Structures are given as structure tokens and as C-alpha cells.
């Protein structure tokens, strides 16, 4: 057997550079690069391996190193990269031990919830223990084989710790399998003790050959298709709910022809919003708590709901209050049996495109009544009028966020990407964004993690350099993590960042008010004379902050100024932040749907008691789907 003598760090890098994914006959590099922040836990291992690879690589080969500012942000960027590449490629992230590693835990949870592949390589404590406790080691007196990296276990789809070099091949192969399994994918964590990373071993040369990981289009069980077709044929007012699985499968055309052929309107979850053009007569737009009145009215009366690639989050089902028809039943097309079994649905465990093709054959000759299509088209047209009005309210003195969204929609080209994650922005975008292209809408709403926006924008742009990326970020999210602006500047990766400043956590302010908590603790104010946080607004200058990081900044006040600045930002050749203040009280049009946020059952405050009464009333509409 031919062997190659390399350290574990060098071997990991060489292995990752040789992995490919394949679907529908097209191959991709599986690992597009490696983000890293070095410390004693990885500088001499993976860090040294990445350096050698960079020095030895042919152009376009090796494993490109990207320098991060914050380990959490590196993982967000990797997740956004994977999402933009439809999970065919992702990035690796290497960190030191201790805080560098645990900074990645939040990113791991985000990736796993959103079913996005990311490869995490945290450094770990000494395997040999000779020098224990190493700097940053958390010692468990009762278990010496535990380190902080065990915190990755519950948030990863695969976790392994490589205590000995001999374990590396099996760890790497298992990691690639999970990254490329559409049903299992998520965060994959290989914890690498810092001494092991630098240790040499004679690896079989075979380990480093190019490997192709096929991403399957799992066909459905014919009996499941028959059951699903029977249920759909019995429907009079069916509705499709398209989730992220539609997009990852590349099934948007399949959904469109299925909807057209059988006359079934399509509501979309946050992850599924790229599925259909906004002006398609059967596109009912966003569904659920942040949905359109069109999709939500169709949902309220639907007798059969066909979920495709959705995990049925509470935002989608309006906390199980949305589907109100007494006999409503579900068909679930999903690669993961876990999701396919939800809502007591007929489970069709399969790739979305493969399942729709099979189901279309089984439904041949059937269609809904013309009145159903007409009603869907009518409701959607009415919602589009609502959107138009929200885009053009001309709210004074500061504009409404909906107007900002309208301008971004107007200035962006069809294939540009709009990206958001937390605050009022993703909900408003879900309702109001006029989707024109698959992949043009990127809201991270599985974890809805403040701080994802800029890091995610970086990942999306790295994955799609030919598309403009509009990062929509609130002041709260900006303050939580704007660090990757520096990485964007460093890499010459151009983002358009729209920073919407409403002086605090407006979304939570509104939520707080609705649960009777009077917007407590949600705006950015000084402590006032009475000892409460009700003084004047804080003098935070986020535009100056961005400029200090090397970003080109355009400050705007009116919506007209904003439009002009945005045109300029889109044409610019470097990362540009457009700053605008909006009115936190000017909300988007209502979805008429509910979201279950429990209200205090006893309270001295009248506002809370009133909210509790409303809450108890709303809960009456909630039901299990059994």
C-alpha cells in the first residue's frame, strides 16, 4: 500500500480539497474553502496545513483560506454559502479551542435547523493530557473525556472527536456522507485535539483520491404516491405549501407545472419563497403568521394541504391555527421521514421533484374546479394591491420599513438576492417582497439569528459572485455582529447593506405591546431620571461605525434620497452601506394570522390582563392535526 506521511491537519486539508458532489450529472466542489481564526488550538495543525496547501496549490486548487472576525459569523457565512449553492457545496470552518470553538455552537444550531451542510473543525484539548489543563480548558472533575466541544453534540447532525490519527479516515468519510445526505444534512462537527492535529501518520494514498458524493433524487414509494393521489383527488379546495425543500431539490419548475396542471394555488414558507414569481396567478405568496391574506384565506378553507419540503414551523401553521377546515388533511412530500410524518399527513418520503413527477402521473386527468383557480387569482390580486399601497404610503416624518422594501425591490434586478434573518425585516419581506427569481429571496428564519445578516450576505456573495446581494439589517442585528464587513472589504466581496435604524428592537417592541408588556426594554434609550430606560435615544451612529470598518457609506433621510443612494450602491464596485432611519411604529399590513406567544396568566398590569384575555380567545382556534 502506498502511503503518504502528513500531519492530521495537513491530511484534513488535502482530503477536503478532493471531495466533490454530484446531482443530475453535474459535479461541484463539495468544500469551497475554509474559514478560520487561529489560536493555539489550530495554528500549528490545520493552520499549518492550510498554509502548505496555499503555497503548493495549482491555481483554483487546494483549499482557499478565508480569514474570519468572529467564529459564529464564519459558520453563518458557510451556511449562507451552502444555501445559495442549493446544498451542493459548503465551506469548512476551523477554530481554536475553548471560546473560539463555542462561538461556533450558535452557527451549528442555525445550520442544523435550516438543514444546511456546514463542516466545523473546532480545536480540542490535548489528547495526551500531559500538559493539562491547557489554556481555555474547562475541566469536568467527574469526566476527563468531556470538553466544551461536547456542546456541539445536540446541535450537530454528526459529531466525532479524533483522539488518534487512525480514527481520521472514518471520521472524514462519515462527515462527507452526512453533509451530502439531503435528509440528514446539517452541522457536521469534527473536534480535533490540538496535539493530534500536529501529529504525523502514514496515510494510505487512497484516502486523498478524488471522491464524488452523489446527492440522490430518492424516488417515492409507489404505494405512498397512490395514497397521496387518492387524497388529492378527493379535494375541492387544495393548497400547496412550498418549503425550502422545493428550492434545494431544484423543483420550482415541477411545482409550477404541477400547480398549473391541477389548478392548485401555492403558499410559500420563508425558506420556500423563491418557489414562484409573485405575479403568477396561482402564487398566493407567503403563508402563515407573516403571510399574505391570500394564502391565509386559502389555508383557512383548504380541505387537503400538500406540504412540499416544509418542516411545518409554527410561523407556517400560525401555531396550528391556520388550517381551520374541520376535516383538513395533509400530504407531506419530504426527503426526511421525520418531516413527512408531521400533521398526521400521508407521508411521501422522496425528493420533491421525483415525488411531484410521480404524483402528476397518478393525478392525470383530474383538476380542481375553475372557481378555485379564479378565487386564488382574485385573492392574490387583492394582496398585490395591498403591497402596492404599503410600498407607497409616504409615511412622515420618517418612512415606513415597507417603503424601504419597496425601493429595494424596485432597484434590484430579478436575479439579485435580498437577505435577512431577524427582527421585523424577515416578516415584512415575507409578506411584501415581490419574488422574481428562485434563490433571489434568502431569509434565515429557521433560527432567525440576529447577527446572521452581514455574515450571511458574505457567504451568499462568495457563493454567487455574479449576483448583487442586498443585506437587510436592523440596528439591533447590526450591533450584534457587523464584524464580517471587514472580511467583505478584505476579500473585495461586494455587498449592498441596507441598515434600517429604528432605535431598538422594534419587532419585539410590537410583540411586547401585544402581550401587554408595554414595549419594556426594547428601545435604545438612556436611563432616565426615574431610574428606568426611558430617557433620550442613545447617540449610536451606525453609519460612522460602518465607515470606520472601511465600508463606503451613504446616509439617507427621505425615501427619495434612499432610492438614489441605493441605485448608486448597486452600481458601486465595493461594499456599500445605505443608512436610513424608519418609524418603528409604522408596521406592515396585517396577515390576519396569529402566533402563539404565551401571556402572563396573572398580572397587576391591566395591559397584561387584557392581553391574556385576548390570548385565551385566540387559543380556541388552535388545534392538533391528528
Ligand X SMILES: Cc1ncc(C[n+]2csc(CCOP(=O)(O)OP(=O)(O)O)c2C)c(N)n1
Q: Which is nearer to ligand X, 478 or 615 (CB)?
A: 478
Q: How far is the CB of 578 from ligand X (least distance, A)?
A: 16
Q: Given the rule CB under 6 A, which of 389-397, 442-450, 488-496, 540-548 is the region that contacts ligand X? A: 442-450
Judged by beta carbon distances under 5 to 8 A according to partner kind, the member of Mg ion, ligand X, none in contact with residue 8 is none
Q: Which is nearer to Mg ion, 131 or 544 (CB)?
A: 544
Among 432, 449, 460, 565, binds ligand X (CB under 6 A): 449
Size of the site for ligand X (CB under 6 A): 17
Q: How far is the CB of 290 from ligand X (least distance, A)?
A: 13
Angle (nearest 5°) at CA 237 between 233 and 242: 90
Q: Which is nearer to Mg ion, 247 or 577 (CB)?
A: 577
Q: Taking CB under 6 A as the rule, which mask of x and - marks residues 422-441 in contact with ligand X?
A: xxxx----------------
Q: Which is nearer to ligand X, 154 or 204 (CB)?
A: 154
Q: How far is the CB of 584 from ligand X (least distance, A)?
A: 6
**Which residues lie closer than 8 Å to 608 by C-beta, 6 or more apart?**
515, 516, 517, 599, 600
DSSP string, 299-362: HHH-SEEEEES----HHHHTTTTS---TT-EEEEEESSHHHHTGGG-EEEES-HHHHHHHHHHH
Q: Which is nearer to ligand X, 147 or 582 (CB)?
A: 582
581 binds ligand X (CB under 6 A): no
229 binds ligand X (CB under 6 A): no
Residue 71 CA to residue 348 CA, distance in Å, equals 38
CA-based nearest residue to 192, from 126, 286, 262, 290:
126
- Tell me which H or E stretch contains 255: helix 252-262
Beta bridge partners of 307: 241, 332
**Which residues lie closer than 8 Å to 383 by C-beta, 6 or more apart?**
284, 285, 292, 293, 294
Q: How far is the CB of 504 from Mg ion (least distance, A)?
A: 5
Site for ligand X in 483-502 (CB under 6 A): 502
| Direct distance between the N- and C-terminal alpha carbons of the chain, in angstroms, rounded to an integer | 58
Cβ-in-10-Å burial (0-12, 13-18, 19+) of 235 comes to buried
Q: How far is the CB of 453 from ligand X (least distance, A)?
A: 8
Q: How far is the CB of 125 from Mg ion (least distance, A)?
A: 40
Q: How far is the CB of 584 from Mg ion (least distance, A)?
A: 7
268: helix, coil or strand?
strand
Q: How far is the CB of 449 from ligand X (least distance, A)?
A: 5
506 binds ligand X (CB under 6 A): yes
Q: How far is the CB of 512 from ligand X (least distance, A)?
A: 10
Contact, 40 vs 80, CB < 8 A?
no
CA-based nearest residue to 216, from 16, 357, 78, 353:
353
Q: Which is nearer to ligand X, 309 or 446 (CB)?
A: 446
Neighbouring CB atoms inside 10 A of 187's CB total 31
96: helix, coil or strand?
coil
Among 469, 508, 554, 569, binds ligand X (CB under 6 A): 508
Alpha-carbon distances of 237 from 144, 177, 302, 569, rounded to whole Å: 60, 41, 5, 45
User: Phi/psi at 364 (nearest 5 deg)?
Assistant: -50, 135
399 binds ligand X (CB under 6 A): no
Q: How far is the CB of 311 from Mg ion (least distance, A)?
A: 28
Judged by beta carbon distances under 5 to 8 A according to partner kind, the member of ligand X, Mg ion, none in contact with residue 46 is none
Among 96, 448, 512, 608, binds ligand X (CB under 6 A): 448
Cell of 605: 398590569
Judged by beta carbon distances under 5 to 8 A according to partner kind, the member of Mg ion, ligand X, none in contact with residue 422 is ligand X
DSSP string, 17-48: HTEEEEETTEEEESEEEEEE---TTTTTTHHH
Binding-site ranges for Mg ion (CB under 5 A): 474-476, 502, 506
Among 7, 89, 194, 507, binds ligand X (CB under 6 A): 507
Q: Which is nearer to Mg ion, 395 or 621 (CB)?
A: 395
Alpha-carbon distances of 459 from 54, 128, 224, 488, 493, rounded to whole Å: 21, 37, 38, 10, 10
Q: Which is nearer to ligand X, 52 or 513 (CB)?
A: 513
Judged by beta carbon distances under 5 to 8 A according to partner kind, the member of ligand X, Mg ion, none in contact with residue 416 is none
Site for ligand X in 460-479 (CB under 6 A): 474-477
Q: How far is the CB of 404 from ligand X (least distance, A)?
A: 11
Contact, 275 vs 243, CB < 8 A?
no
Prior bond to 133 cis, omega within 30?
Answer: yes
Q: Which is nearer to ligand X, 404 or 469 (CB)?
A: 404
Beta bridge partners of 27: 22
Q: Which is nearer to ligand X, 10 or 106 (CB)?
A: 106
CA-based nearest residue to 95, from 71, 119, 66:
71
505 binds ligand X (CB under 6 A): yes
Q: Given the rule CB under 6 A, which of 72-80, 94-102, 357-365, 506-514 is the region that contacts ligand X? A: 506-514
CA-based nearest residue to 352, from 242, 274, 444, 447:
242
Residue 398 CA to residue 501 CA, distance in Å, equals 11
Q: How far is the CB of 542 from ligand X (least distance, A)?
A: 10
Q: Which residues bind ligand X (CB under 6 A)?
A: 422-425, 448-451, 474-477, 502, 505-508
Amino acid at each position: 500500500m502506498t502511503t503518504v506521511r502528513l500531519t492530521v491537519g495537513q491530511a484534513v486539508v488535502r482530503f477536503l480539497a478532493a471531495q466533490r458532489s454530484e446531482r443530475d450529472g453535474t459535479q461541484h466542489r463539495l468544500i469551497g474553502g475554509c474559514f478560520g481564526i487561529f489560536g493555539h488550538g489550530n495554528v500549528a495543525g490545520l493552520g499549518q496545513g492550510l498554509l502548505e496547501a496555499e503555497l503548493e496549490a495549482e491555481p483554483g486548487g487546494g483549499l482557499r483560506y478565508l480569514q474570519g472576525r468572529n467564529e459564529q459569523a464564519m459558520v453563518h457565512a458557510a451556511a449562507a454559502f451552502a444555501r445559495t449553492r442549493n446544498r451542493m457545496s459548503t465551506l469548512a470552518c476551523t477554530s481554536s479551542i475553548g471560546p473560539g470553538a463555542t462561538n461556533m455552537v450558535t452557527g451549528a444550531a442555525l445550520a442544523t435547523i435550516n438543514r444546511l451542510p456546514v463542516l466545523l473543525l473546532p480545536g480540542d484539548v490535548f489528547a495526551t493530557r500531559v500538559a493539562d489543563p491547557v489554556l481555555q480548558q474547562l475541566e469536568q472533575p467527574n469526566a476527563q473525556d468531556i470538553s466544551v466541544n461536547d456542546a456541539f453534540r445536540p446541535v450537530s447532525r454528526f459529531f466525532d472527536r479524533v483522539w488518534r490519527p487512525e480514527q481520521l479516515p472514518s471520521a472524514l468519510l462519515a462527515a462527507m456522507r452526512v453533509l451530502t445526505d439531503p435528509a440528514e444534512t446539517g452541522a457536521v462537527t469534527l473536534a480535533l485535539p490540538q496535539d493530534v492535529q500536529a501529529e504525523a501518520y502514514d496515510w494510505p494514498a487512497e484516502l486523498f483520491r478524488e471522491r464524488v458524493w452523489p446527492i440522490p433524487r430518492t424516488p417515492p414509494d409507489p404505494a405512498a404516491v397512490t395514497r397521496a393521489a387518492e387524497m388529492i383527488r378527493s379535494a375541492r379546495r387544495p393548497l400547496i405549501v412550498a418549503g425550502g425543500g422545493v428550492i434545494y431539490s431544484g423543483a420550482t419548475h415541477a411545482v409550477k407545472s404541477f400547480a398549473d396542471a391541477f389548478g392548485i394555488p401555492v403558499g410559500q414558507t420563508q425558506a420556500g419563497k423563491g418557489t414562484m414569481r409573485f405575479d403568477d396567478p396561482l402564487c398566493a405568496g407567503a403563508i402563515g403568521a407573516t403571510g399574505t391574506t391570500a394564502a391565509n384565506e386559502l389555508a383557512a378553507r383548504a380541505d387537503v394541504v400538500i406540504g412540499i419540503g416544509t418542516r411545518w414551523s409554527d410561523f407556517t401553521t400560525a401555531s396550528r391555527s391556520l388550517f381551520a377546515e374541520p376535516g383538513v388533511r395533509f400530504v407531506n412530500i419530504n426527503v426526511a421521514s421525520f418531516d413527512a410524518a408531521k400533521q398526521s399527513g400521508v407521508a411521501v418520503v422522496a425528493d420533491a421533484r421525483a415525488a411531484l413527477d410521480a404524483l402528476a402521473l397518478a393525478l392525470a386527468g383530474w383538476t380542481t374546479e375553475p372557481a378555485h383557480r379564479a378565487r386564488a387569482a382574485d385573492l392574490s390580486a387583492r394582496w398585490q394591491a395591498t403591497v402596492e399601497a404599503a410600498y407607497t404610503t409616504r409615511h412622515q416624518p420618517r418612512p415606513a420599513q415597507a417603503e424601504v422594501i419597496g425601493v429595494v425591490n424596485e432597484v434590484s434586478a430579478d436575479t439579485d438576492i435580498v437577505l435577512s434573518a431577524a427582527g421585523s425585516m424577515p416578516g415584512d419581506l415575507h409578506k411584501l417582497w415581490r419574488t422574481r427569481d428562485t434563490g433571489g429571496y434568502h431569509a434565515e428564519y429557521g433560527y432567525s439569528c440576529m447577527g446572521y445578516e452581514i455574515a450571511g450576505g458574505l457567504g451568499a456573495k462568495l457563493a454567487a459572485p455574479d449576483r448583487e446581494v442586498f443585506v437587510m439589517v436592523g440596528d439591533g442585528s447590526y450591533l450584534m455582529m457587523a464584524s464580517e464587513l471587514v472580511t467583505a472589504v478584505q476579500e473585495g466581496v461586494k455587498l449592498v447593506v441596507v441598515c434600517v435604524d429604528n432605535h431598538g428592537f422594534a419587532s419585539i417592541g410590537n410583540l411586547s405591546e401585544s402581550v401587554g408588556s408595554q414595549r419594556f426594554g426594547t428601545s435604545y434609550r438612556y436611563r432616565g431620571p426615574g431610574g428606568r430606560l426611558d430617557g433620550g435615544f442613545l447617540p449610536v451612529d451606525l453609519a460612522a461605525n460602518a465607515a470606520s470598518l472601511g465600508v463606503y457609506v451613504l446616509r439617507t433621510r427621505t425615501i427619495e434620497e434612499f432610492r438614489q443612494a441605493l441605485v448608486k450602491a448597486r452600481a458601486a464596485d465595493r461594499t456599500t452601506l445605505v443608512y436610513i432611519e424608519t418609524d418603528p411604529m409604522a408596521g406592515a399590513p396585517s396577515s390576519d394570522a396569529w402566533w402563539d406567544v404565551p401571556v402572563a396568566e396573572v398580572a397587576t398590569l391591566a395591559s397584561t390582563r387584557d392581553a391574556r384575555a385576548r390570548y385565551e380567545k385566540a387559543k380556541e382556534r388552535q388545534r392538533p392535526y391528528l
